[in-house]
Chains A and B, each alone.
Chain A
């Protein structure tokens, strides 16, 4: 019999019961809760008179709606304010630990989970948010769910799930200087498409993945959902274990030793079979820039905007034409000729300390270009912010004319006051370039933090691997 994949192992460890049709009741070790997808779940519990199965396995934070400036003045938008206050109230009523807006540990739900050791290797992790795949970077079986399932997990600590198929994406060899986790994952999505991973749990492997820090691995798994996969996974190694040592919620003393032993089995067996294997050559990956309104519409920075005429599939061709029109671009235009209006460095994809360091390295001693109206730097959590300030990164940004903000989702989805105006073009380190994502009529180009900082300074896209300061 063939060995097991990492996904198979995680699944098997969490099966409570199996149903006739192949679905199973799966035990959930950790639920992360935020203000947008939880109010209706709490209401449902109240209506049915239900309690939480295990309060302590839920951890809450407000992130989507919170202001990133003048936080002491509270939230100006009354509807957003009510939603955040509703989370505070619900957490108090149901006894859930919450990092509120004034807590230094507050931040984007997918940044604080690993940072606190609240999401650990081998766990099942859910959250009413599709980017829950991020937590798979530590070999946790983590996936996004809808509000009905949030309520279900609260009430039963379980979810009914169907097992996904197994996909292995191997990124062979090492990336060149200045190429980041973001470029790797955008290149993967460019190759397999936004629906390429639908129905699969994707395990990322290969030398280029093993060489990434935990931060970089989180960036890759974060965007598994942009390839259609609810779950992204990376095997445990020493980098994983070192990362979780001494985190506030990490196991302590003899539990730590037990955990490390158990975690060392969290990899696919050598003879495991995958339903699909995709291989990429890391050495061929260049800095990536999306040009359209879907993350799969991506090219290398030294390329041109593609021409729909060259696309044989008529459905794809139509979406390319629509994307060009929405983005205000011409087929054949060089990516490096695209001028930008705003820059956003943040989001659960790229707001960890390593991301800020990469951006600061490019920005050091330089200033933003005249045509760039605003550069927002939004750390992923209060603790990331603190660390960055201890390293003096905030000063580098401020001297370059960038704005140093408080943590939250911010212009990743523009639910708070940070947003693009219609027609504005943004170099963004977030994960989605959908129409209107960063503001009504706004135009998003997804890039790495170093590429975003370089674009802020040049006023247009540039190949960060060709400028001094790019690492």
Chain B
């Protein structure tokens, strides 16, 4: 997994609440058995005027010019600013895969759906929860060329006028993300504890260990 330390980037404002994972990456793209290549289909139904199909070449598709992803001033933004309950709906990890593949590294919102929030950390994406008023004030400021700096180590966002906003994140998640650590390898370091648990549990609930 790609580590996340510090970025300075343009901010793309997506002014909608309850953006669900079907909107982030529509289901027809879930037929892919690959993990990469979802970026061109990110927000497919909002972004293009035609219907997207898996493996379609997107270079000549008609664009919805009103949608923020297609507006020139936000190109190459690595920070997405959005509203409450972002990523609700299905557990599809294709949603963070698509956001990451497109080029986003951090998402700022007043709240995230639990599964989506969790999935972000497995993919080098940093979801940042800020209170709704702060998010609102950022929405008001985001215009051409507005950049934020996100520093995971210090848990700070710095605005162009040198204001600094703190954010909260679990120590464990932070550590993994800062170092780009493989979760499975870390858990397997505790193999003895897992086996110990199994031995104890098999006595209490043997029916769980019959096959």
Contact = CB atoms under 8 A, between A and B. Distances in A.
Interface of A: 13, 16-17, 19-23, 25, 27, 29, 36-37, 39-40, 43, 48, 50, 53, 56, 64-65, 77, 79-80, 82-83, 86, 120, 122-123, 128-130, 132, 143-149, 151-152, 155-158, 160, 162, 164, 194-195, 198-199, 228-230, 251-252, 255-256, 258-259, 262, 294, 315-316, 318-319, 322, 413-415, 432, 434-437, 440
Nearest to B183: A152
Given A16-B190, A198-B113, A255-B210, A37 B33 contact: no
A37 B172 contact: no
Contacts of A151: 184
B31 A160 contact: no
Contacts of B143: none
A238 to B, nearest CB: 19
Given A50-B184, A148-B122, A195-B88, 10 more contacts: A20-B172, A23-B170, A39-B33, A79-B32, A144-B90, A146-B96, A158-B194, A316-B17, A319-B16, A440-B26
Nearest to B121: A148
Contacts of B190: 16-17, 25
A262 to B, nearest CB: 6
- Chain B CB within 10 A, most for which of A37, A132, A252: A37
Top-10 shortest CB links A-B: A251-B207, A146-B93, A148-B122, A39-B33, A146-B119, A144-B91, A255-B207, A130-B91, A21-B171, A147-B93
B55 interface: yes
Given A20-B172, A319-B18, A415 B28 contact: yes
22 contacts: A21-B170, A25-B187, A40-B34, A43-B33, A53-B194, A128-B91, A129-B90, A130-B89, A146-B96, A148-B122, A149-B118, A152-B184, A152-B187, A156-B188, A195-B85, A230-B115, A255-B206, A262-B205, A315-B17, A319-B16, A434-B89, A435-B22
Contacts of B205: 122, 258-259, 262
Contact of A160 (B88, B90, B183): B183
Nearest to B211: A56
Contacts of B188: 155-156
Interface string B106-118: 0000010111001
B35 A79 contact: no
Interface string B23-67: 100111011111100000000010000010011000000000000
A48 B182 CA distance: 11
A168 to B, nearest CB: 18
B162 interface: no
Interface in B57-109: 83-85, 88-93, 96
B187 A145 contact: no
Nearest to B90: A130
Nearest to B23: A435
A255 B89 CA distance: 38
A122 B113 CA distance: 25
A144 B187 CA distance: 20
Nearest to B196: A16
Nearest to B186: A160
Contacts of A17: 190, 193
Nearest to B119: A146
B169 to A, nearest CB: 10
Contacts of B208: 29, 123
Interface residues of B, number: 59
A147 B92 CA distance: 7
Nearest to A40: B35
Contacts of A294: 18, 20
A159 to B, nearest CB: 8
Interface string B161-205: 000000000111100000000011001101101100110010011
B119 to A, nearest CB: 4
A316 B132 CA distance: 13
- Chain A CB within 10 A, most for which of B17, B193, B211: B17
A9 B197 CA distance: 16
Contacts of B20: 294, 432, 434
Contact of A198 (B26, B93, B111): B111
B153 to A, nearest CB: 16
B147 interface: no
Contact of A16 (B23, B28, B51, B193): B193
A83 to B, nearest CB: 5
B88 A194 contact: yes
A430 B167 CA distance: 37
B123 interface: yes
B115 to A, nearest CB: 6
Contacts of A79: 31-32, 54-55
A149 B205 CA distance: 25
Given A37-B91, A440-B45, A198 B114 contact: yes
A423 to B, nearest CB: 13
A239 to B, nearest CB: 20
Contacts of A13: 201
Contacts of A318: 16-17
A397 B199 CA distance: 51
Contacts of B111: 195, 198
Nearest to A164: B114
Given A16-B190, A255-B206, A315-B83, A148 B119 contact: yes
A27 B35 contact: no
B32 A148 contact: no
A25 B183 CA distance: 11
A315 B84 contact: yes
Contact of B193 (A25, A128, A143, A256): A25
A420 B45 CA distance: 15
A43 B35 contact: yes
A436 B170 CA distance: 35
A21 B177 CA distance: 15
Given A160-B183, A294-B18, A146 B27 contact: no
A37 B183 contact: no
Contact of B172 (A43, A160, A230, A255): A160
A83 B35 CA distance: 13
